[in-house]
Each structure stands twice: as C-alpha cells, then as structure tokens.
Structure 1
Amino acid sequence: MILLLLYVDDMIITGDDIAGVEELKQSFSHKFEMKDLGVLSYFLELEATSSYDGYLLSQVKYASTLVSKAKLSDSRSVFTPLEPNVKLTPMDGSPLSDPTRYWQLIGSLVYLTTTCPNKAYAVHIVSQFMATSCSTHYASVLRIIRYVNGTLFHGLHFSAHSSLELRAHSDADWARDFNDHKSIVGYCLFLVIP
C-alpha cells in the first residue's frame, strides 16, 4: 500500500511498500521539481515525532504562536478550557466594537483541535457567537488560550503496537443548548491496542 497526501505544494508519500514509494518519488521527480525532506517531522503546522513506541502528532509551535498572538505568554494557565457550568448567551456582556480579533482567535483554535480534541467542545461553544461577539465571549476565548498555554505539549499518540482497530463513541445532549435548544453532539475515535 502506498499513501499520498497532497496539499497545494506540500506532499507526504508513505506506505508499507518501500520500493514502490521510492519508484513513485523517482517518477514524480522526473516530471516535477521536488525536494525530499526525509522523515516526516513537520507538515501544515503539524509536528510529527516518532519513537520506539509510536508516533506523536502535536502542534507545539502553532499553539505557542497562538498564545503569543493573544499576548498571554506570561499569564497563568488554567486547568479547564471553560468555567465550570458556564452558560453563554448571545447577549452576554457588551458587543465588541471590532470582532475581527475574536474571529481570528476562534479560527486558530479550530485548527488547533486537529491534535487536541479535548479543546473541541469549548471552541464549539465560543464559535457559536461569531455574529454576536460580546466581551464575555471574548473572555471565554482568552480562557481557552490560557488552557492551551498549560497544555502546549499535548497531542495525539499513535502506538506502534496498535492493531489499528478503530472504535468510535458518540453522545448527544438532546436540545440542552440554552440559546437555541439544539442538540450538541460529541464523538471520540480510538485506535485500540488489543
């Protein structure tokens, strides 16, 4: 099996057929100008680290840049991304005069959930207020970023001993959303080691 991931001008080629991978790279290099960067370590703000027990995908540099952009590098981190039992509504606090910064931080947080799904629910909550951004929502975004500051080195670990058995779990709160009474669904996907 050979897998190819292409995004604009960045490419990952991998697979269990080493000779086939080399042949494909040679074929491409005859038609396109290419540079082989060796073993995967960084791709689209994702950092890949391999060790004897598997692979770790993280976004340490991206998360650090986000914390710096929010000017929270020197602030203390928090243990949870949202205040316990927080109930945000569209009219919490005063409207932001220029919500651009709020939108930028939300976009960055959404991409950060690629390797840190534990932040996804909190980011989902604050992203519901893109059209009605208020000071309380912005404060919640800053809290999430303080949480990111305390979890910079977290990521997804894929074990080398995994049989690649995929298990999925989902749950829904069935119309508990305080603002629009719509359901919020969450899910977890696991590569299980038997």
Structure 2
Amino acid sequence: MKDLATLSYFLGLEVISSFDGYYLSLAKHSSNLLSKADITDNKTVSTPFEYNAKLTTLDGEPISDATRYRQLVSSLIYLTVTRPDISDAVSMVSKLMDAPCFVHYATVLQIL
C-alpha cells in the first residue's frame, strides 16, 4: 500500500476535511450533469417534484430514443449520495426507465 496524501477527490466525490469531520460534495458532477442536459442557464425551482404528482407509463407520447433519459436518471441516482432531498423524485422517475414519455423527461429536467 502507498500513502498518497490526504483524500480530496474519489469517484467523482469531492472530499473536504475539517476539524469536525469530512464533507462530501458532488458539485463538479452536478455541473457536468447540467451541461450534459443543456440547461445551464435555466431558472431554479424550490422543489424537485410536484407534491402528490403521479407518473405512469401512460402519461403521453413515448420517447423514441430513451438513452439520454436513462443516462440522466442514472446520474441523478448517483447524485442522491450527497442530496437525499431529491431521492423521492429520482426514485419516481427511475421506475419509468423502461418506457419513458416526454412528460417524464420534463420531470427529470425539473429535478436537475
């Protein structure tokens, strides 16, 4: 084994050491995720998901190529490591990865 000094970055997690513990941040991952979705200049919302909103597979027209949707949702799942406040919304959209619709994609963009 080899000591490579203090831990500062590991698997996308930025680690900051303090006198009272360690702080984890995914700020770089978050900014990369926003640029991947092309929404870097959009306004923010206070809640990631509407209260009592229900999403089903019959919500509208399905997306022809769901690859981008799946990539964004999987990145959001990783983001819940440091953002547990979005875990309910991410859980809801991750259940629809097999047949996403445009409404579901809009919901993912709102979570971002």
- Fold agreement, TM-score > 0.5: yes
Q: Does 1:71 align with 2:38?
A: yes
Matched residues in 2 for 1:110 and 1:52: separation?
A: 30
Matched residues in 2 for 1:88 and 1:77: separation?
A: 22
> Unaligned stretches of 5+ in structure 2?
none
* Structure with higher strand content: 1
Larger Rg belongs to: 1
Matched residues in 2 for 1:81 and 1:58: separation?
A: 19
Structure 1 runs (4+) deviating above 4 angstroms are: none
Aligned residues: 112
Q: Which residue of 2 aligns with 1:137?
A: 104
Q: Does 1:83 align with 2:50?
A: yes
Q: What displacement does 1:131 show? A: 1.1
- Residue 99 of structure 2 aligns to a residue whose secondary structure is coil
Q: Which residue of 1 aligns with 2:15?
A: 48
Residues 133-181 of structure 1, C-alpha deviations (whole Å, 9 max, x = no match): 1011001000001xxxxxxxxxxxxxxxxxxxxxxxxxxxxxxxxxxxx
Matched residues in 2 for 1:64 and 1:37: separation?
A: 27
Q: What displacement does 1:53 show? A: 2.5
Query: Which residue, 39, 57, 61 being the options, matches 2:24?
Result: 57
* RMSD (CA atoms): 1.2
Q: Which residue of 2 aligns with 1:38?
A: 5
Which structure has the higher relative contact order (CA within 8 Å, separation 6+)?
2
Q: What displacement does 1:52 show? A: 2.3
Q: Which amino acid letter does the alignment assign opposite residue 114 of structure 1?
A: V
Query: Which residue, 68, 71, 95 being the options, matches 1:104?
Result: 71
* Structure with higher helix content: 2
